[in-house]
């Protein structure tokens, strides 16, 4: 009998310990969520957005960093050369191109202004329209830009190539596609440019997330 009581008592103690540990883990989880939420709120309040012509720059006061999150091309006032500043207006080094937000499409071109556009879409999707014969060659508008990248750029957070399109209403479409020729500062420790394209210094790998100046739509 005593052995049975001891077994039951041990089982109860084990149950109590497990319950207490469960409560502690729940509380700690709640605290962690609260801390993360507060940190994000602080960062959000400390984040400002500034335009440099067509460039959109995000400044983060908490980390004292900045990045170019995109570029709007103006078809009425076209720029043939765009230079990414080394520092933001608040004096933070502009160290990345693209968006650090995981849900962002992360495209360098946010769109083309002052043209009739229905929507923005990926380059792959636009190519599909072209291959299906719904975009005649005369309905493709390329905008060529020289993009100058400074020595402070350390990361490229681009996840897609972006163009804008227009539905003519007769089964055909228009594509507006900005293209870049890139010059990179020779003092940049991470990237270099060659023949108008951007490469990683360590691997010599081409940064493929830009639409380069020699891109053409092909039917095949």
Residue 51's DSSP bridge partners are 56
pLDDT tens for 23-53 read 877 777 667 666 555 445 444 444 566 666 7
The DSSP annotation for 92-120 comes to -BEEEEE---TTS---SEEEEESS--SEE
- Average pLDDT, integer, range 112-128: 84
Q: Residues 6 or more apart from 80 whose CB is under 8 A from it?
A: 144, 145, 146
pLDDT for residue 74: 84
pLDDT for residue 15: 63
pTM: 0.74
> Which pair of tokens denotes residue 115?
């043209």
* Selected residue with higher pLDDT from 203 and 111: 203
Q: What's 123-156 look like in SS3?
A: HHHHHHHHHCCCCCHHHEEEEEEEEEECCCCCEE
Q: How confident is the model at residue 75 (pLDDT cuts 50, 70, 90)?
A: confident
């Amino acid at each position: 009998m005593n052995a049975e009581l001891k077994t039951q008592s041990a089982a109860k103690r084990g149950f109590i310990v497990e319950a207490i540990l469960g409560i502690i883990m729940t509380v700690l989880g709640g605290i962690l969520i609260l801390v993360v939420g507060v940190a994000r709120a602080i960062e959000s309040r400390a984040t400002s957005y500034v335009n440099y012509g067509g460039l959109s720059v995000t400044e983060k006061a908490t980390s004292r960093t900045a990045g170019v999150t995109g570029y709007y091309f103006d078809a009425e006032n076209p720029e043939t050369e765009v230079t990414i500043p080394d520092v933001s207006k608040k004096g933070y080094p502009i160290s990345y191109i693209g968006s650090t937000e995981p849900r962002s499409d992360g495209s360098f071109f946010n769109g083309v202004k002052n043209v009739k556009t229905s929507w923005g879409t990926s380059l792959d999707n636009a190519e599909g329209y072209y291959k299906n014969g719904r975009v005649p060659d005369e309905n493709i508008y390329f905008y060529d830009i020289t993009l100058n990248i400074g020595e402070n750029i350390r990361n490229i957070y681009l996840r897609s190539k972006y163009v804008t399109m227009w539905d003519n209403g007769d089964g055909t479409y228009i594509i507006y596609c900005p293209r870049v020729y890139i010059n990179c500062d020779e003092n940049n420790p991470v990237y270099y440019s060659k023949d108008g394209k951007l490469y990683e210094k360590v691997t010599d790998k081409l940064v493929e997330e830009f639409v380069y100046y020699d891109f053409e739509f092909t039917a095949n």
